Homo-oligomer: A and B are copies of this chain.
């Protein structure tokens, strides 16, 4: 894949594995070059979150499962990075919900759209939507090109790993937005209805399991779950966790230097 052997014993194995997977995505025409940079940015925030699913992400995931199940027409929006990191999980979630997967790219190209569609079909996706003339008002990037059968009609849109200004535009259209974003300070994180501050490769299996389990619950139970959810609180908890981890890392740094000096 990358011309070198990545040993499973490497202390950064997981992180390097996904980095290689995205580089492979570029070679396949699925991931954009800018997607690699966006992933690197996520890596840094994940590092500051100690690369684990925190309690606030768990809470957000439970609210997300409730909202998806309560929605009349949820749509799952996928891009190049998400395709490489979580295509199988996206397809599983779409099947549980009976929801379409809509391809939406910031760095638009017909070739990439096609490659992503081929990739999703190979993995068993059935309802795949492409931009078909639908327009998201006030969005300047290619993200504005949406599907009339998808985001135009949706009451809830799942937009993980978002790098554009789409979330605010969808909210302004009175749609609910669920995102997965490792940066709790991003515009997307702050404007979404529900923000899962976690790595998508850790979140998706939990979201699938939770959504599947919640299928048995009543709408009243799901609505109560949602009513008790506070996205601002979740974002504050994420920011405070990063602060706390940074303090711990800097103390470790100081003691490390003390050891090295003596």
Contact = CB atoms under 8 A, between A and B. Distances in A.
What is the predominant secondary structure among interface residues of chain A facing chain B? helix
Contacts of A22: 33, 37
Q: Number of contact residues on A: which range applies?
A: 35 or more
Interface string A88-114: 000000000000000000111100000
A2 interface: yes
Interface string A9-29: 111000010011011001100
A173 interface: no
B33 A26 contact: yes
Interface stretch (A150-158, A183-191, A218-226): A183-191
A20 B47 contact: no
Contact of A140 (B9, B47, B253): B9
Given A140-B7, A236-B253, A249-B239, A45 B43 contact: no
A254 B232 contact: yes
A254 B242 contact: no
Contacts of A39: 37, 40
A43 B33 contact: no
A246 interface: yes
Interface in A150-191: 165, 183, 185, 187, 190
B236 A257 contact: no
A36 interface: yes
Contacts of A9: 140
A235 to B, nearest CB: 6
B236 A2 contact: no
Contacts of A16: 34
Contacts of A242: 246
Given A43-B37, A44-B45, A246-B242, A141 B4 contact: yes
27 contacts: A2-B107, A3-B107, A3-B108, A4-B106, A4-B108, A4-B141, A10-B140, A10-B141, A10-B165, A23-B37, A27-B33, A33-B33, A36-B37, A36-B40, A37-B43, A39-B40, A41-B41, A41-B43, A42-B44, A44-B44, A185-B250, A236-B250, A236-B254, A239-B250, A240-B250, A242-B246, A243-B247
Given A19-B37, A239-B250, 4 more contacts: A37-B40, A232-B254, A232-B257, A243-B250
